[in-house]
Chains A and B, each alone.
Chain A
Amino acid sequence: MRKRIALASIAALAGAALLAGCSSSGSSSSGSSTGGYDKNATIQIGSIYEPQNLDNTAGGGQGVTEALNGNVYEGLFKLGDDGKVTPLLATSYTTSSDGLTYTFKLRKGVTFHSGNELTSQDVKYSLEKVLAPNSQSARKSDLEVVKSVATPDDDTVEITLSQRSISFVYELSYVWIIDHTATDLKTSEDGTGPYKLASWKQGSALTLTRFADYWGTPATNQQVVFDYYKDATAENNALLSGQLDLVTGEQSPDALSQFTGNSSYKVNNGNSTTKLLLAFNDKAKPFDNTAVRVAITEAIDRPALLKSIWGHYGKVTGSMVPPTDPWYEDLSSVYPYDPTKAKKALADAGYPNGFSFTLDTPNYDPHPAAAQFIKEQLSKIGVTVKINTITPDQWYTKVYQNHDFTATMQEHVNDRDVEWYGNPDFYWGYDNPKVTQLINDAEQSSTTAQQTEKLKQANEQIVKDAASDWLYLYPQIVVAKKTVTGYPVNGLNSQFYAYDIKKQA
Chain B
Amino acid sequence: MTAYVFRRLGLLLVSLLVAAVVIFVLLRMLPGDPANALVAVGATKEQIAAARHAVGSDQPLPAQFVTWIGQLARLDLGTSFVSGLPVGPQLVQRLVVTVPLTLLGFVLAVLIAAPVGFVAARFSRSAVGIVFSAASQLGVAVPVFWVGILLVWGFALHWHLLPAGGFPQEDWSAPGQALRSLTLPVITIAIVMSSSVARYVRAGCIEILGSDFIRTFRALGSSFGSAMLRHGMKSVAVPVISVLGIELATTFLGAVVIENVFALPGLGSLLVTGIAQHDYPTIQGVLLLTTLIVLIVGFLADLTQRLIDPRLRGAHR
- Chain A residues engaging chain B, CB cutoff 8 angstroms: 7, 9-10, 13-14, 52-53, 55, 58-59, 61, 133-136, 138, 140-141, 184, 186-187, 199, 201-205, 207, 225, 227, 229-231, 234-235, 237-238, 240-243, 391-394, 396-397, 400-401, 410, 412-414, 417, 420
Cβ of A58 and Cβ of B38 under 8 Å apart? yes
Cβ of B165 and Cβ of A205 under 8 Å apart? no
Cβ of A414 and Cβ of B32 under 8 Å apart? no
A226 to chain B, nearest CB (A): 11
Q: Which of A135, A234, A235, A242 has the most CB of B within 10 A?
A: A234
A365 to chain B, nearest CB (A): 14
Contact of A231 among B54, B169, B263, B277 (CB under 8 A): B263
Closest Cβ neighbor of A423 among chain B residues: B42
A203-B51 contact in complex given A237-B157, A241-B163, C-beta closer than 8 Å: no
Alpha-carbon distance between A14 and B276 when the two chains are bound, in angstroms: 32
A52-B153 contact in complex given A136-B40, A199-B169, C-beta closer than 8 Å: no
A133-B32 contact in complex given A202-B83, A243-B164, C-beta closer than 8 Å: no
In the A-B complex, the 6 residue pairs with the smallest Cβ-Cβ separation, listed nearest first, are A59-B38, A186-B84, A204-B265, A237-B164, A203-B265, A396-B36
Cβ of A59 and Cβ of B44 under 8 Å apart? no
Cβ of B165 and Cβ of A230 under 8 Å apart? no
A113 to chain B, nearest CB (A): 19
B-side contacts of A420, CB under 8 Å: 42
A7 to chain B, nearest CB (A): 6
Alpha-carbon distance between A55 and B54 when the two chains are bound, in angstroms: 14
Contact of B84 among A58, A225, A237 (CB under 8 A): A58
Cβ of B263 and Cβ of A235 under 8 Å apart? yes
Cβ of A204 and Cβ of B36 under 8 Å apart? no
Cβ of B167 and Cβ of A414 under 8 Å apart? no
Alpha-carbon distance between A242 and B261 when the two chains are bound, in angstroms: 17
Alpha-carbon distance between A142 and B83 when the two chains are bound, in angstroms: 25
B-side contacts of A10, CB under 8 Å: 149, 152-153, 157
Cβ of B51 and Cβ of A136 under 8 Å apart? yes
Asked whether any CB of chain A lies closer than 8 Å to the CB of B160, the reply is: yes
A266 to chain B, nearest CB (A): 19
Alpha-carbon distance between A145 and B66 when the two chains are bound, in angstroms: 42
Contact of B32 among A61, A136, A141, A391 (CB under 8 A): A391
Asked whether any CB of chain A lies closer than 8 Å to the CB of B310, the reply is: no
B160 to chain A, nearest CB (A): 6
Stretch at the interface among B103-111, B225-233, B266-274, B291-299: B266-274
Q: Which residues of B (51-77) have their CB < 8 Å from a CB of A?
A: 51, 53-54
- Chain B residues engaging chain A, CB cutoff 8 angstroms: 31-33, 36-44, 46-48, 50-51, 53-54, 82-85, 90, 93-94, 149, 152-153, 156-157, 160, 163-167, 169, 260-263, 265, 269-270, 272-273, 276-278
Contact of B83 among A138, A187, A229, A230 (CB under 8 A): A187
Closest Cβ neighbor of A397 among chain B residues: B33
A231-B261 contact in complex given A199-B169, A391-B32, A394-B31, C-beta closer than 8 Å: yes
B-side contacts of A410, CB under 8 Å: 41
Closest Cβ neighbor of A401 among chain B residues: B48
Contact of A59 among B32, B53, B82, B157 (CB under 8 A): B82
Alpha-carbon distance between A204 and B160 when the two chains are bound, in angstroms: 22
B-side contacts of A392, CB under 8 Å: 36, 276
Cβ of A397 and Cβ of B36 under 8 Å apart? yes
Cβ of A238 and Cβ of B165 under 8 Å apart? yes
Alpha-carbon distance between A410 and B41 when the two chains are bound, in angstroms: 10
Alpha-carbon distance between A229 and B32 when the two chains are bound, in angstroms: 25
Closest Cβ neighbor of B153 among chain A residues: A13
Alpha-carbon distance between A401 and B40 when the two chains are bound, in angstroms: 12
Cβ of A135 and Cβ of B47 under 8 Å apart? yes
B-side contacts of A225, CB under 8 Å: 169
Alpha-carbon distance between A203 and B286 when the two chains are bound, in angstroms: 14
Contact of A241 among B51, B83, B157, B169 (CB under 8 A): B157
Give me 15 A-to-B residue pairs in the complex whose CB atoms sit less than 8 angstroms apart, sorted by A's number: A52-B38, A58-B84, A59-B37, A59-B39, A134-B50, A202-B265, A203-B265, A207-B169, A231-B263, A238-B165, A241-B160, A242-B160, A393-B33, A397-B32, A400-B41
Cβ of A135 and Cβ of B50 under 8 Å apart? yes
Contact of B85 among A202, A204, A400, A413 (CB under 8 A): A202
Cβ of B157 and Cβ of A187 under 8 Å apart? no
A-side contacts of B160, CB under 8 Å: 241-242
Contact of A204 among B43, B166, B260, B278 (CB under 8 A): B166
Closest Cβ neighbor of A234 among chain B residues: B263
A136-B149 contact in complex given A58-B84, A202-B83, A240-B164, C-beta closer than 8 Å: no
Closest Cβ neighbor of B53 among chain A residues: A134
Closest Cβ neighbor of A240 among chain B residues: B157
Given contacts A59-B82, A410-B41, 14 further A-B contacts (CB under 8 A): A10-B149, A10-B153, A58-B84, A133-B46, A136-B40, A138-B43, A202-B90, A204-B169, A230-B273, A237-B152, A237-B164, A241-B156, A393-B36, A420-B42
A-side contacts of B43, CB under 8 Å: 136, 138, 400
B122 to chain A, nearest CB (A): 37
B-side contacts of A55, CB under 8 Å: 84
Cβ of B153 and Cβ of A203 under 8 Å apart? no
A-side contacts of B152, CB under 8 Å: 10, 237
B163 to chain A, nearest CB (A): 6
A-side contacts of B40, CB under 8 Å: 59, 61, 136, 138
Cβ of B157 and Cβ of A53 under 8 Å apart? no
A-side contacts of B33, CB under 8 Å: 393, 396-397
A417 to chain B, nearest CB (A): 7
Q: Which of A136, A207, A392 has the most CB of B within 10 A?
A: A136
Closest Cβ neighbor of A364 among chain B residues: B276
B34 to chain A, nearest CB (A): 8
Cβ of A7 and Cβ of B42 under 8 Å apart? no
A182 to chain B, nearest CB (A): 14
Alpha-carbon distance between A58 and B32 when the two chains are bound, in angstroms: 19
B-side contacts of A7, CB under 8 Å: 149
A-side contacts of B163, CB under 8 Å: 238, 241, 243
A-side contacts of B38, CB under 8 Å: 52, 58-59, 136
Alpha-carbon distance between A397 and B36 when the two chains are bound, in angstroms: 8
Cβ of B31 and Cβ of A203 under 8 Å apart? no
A234-B262 contact in complex given A133-B50, A136-B50, A140-B47, C-beta closer than 8 Å: yes
Alpha-carbon distance between A199 and B149 when the two chains are bound, in angstroms: 30
Cβ of B149 and Cβ of A187 under 8 Å apart? no
Contact of B263 among A229, A412, A413, A414 (CB under 8 A): A229
Cβ of A201 and Cβ of B93 under 8 Å apart? yes
Cβ of A394 and Cβ of B32 under 8 Å apart? yes
Closest Cβ neighbor of B44 among chain A residues: A141
A418 to chain B, nearest CB (A): 12
Cβ of A202 and Cβ of B93 under 8 Å apart? yes
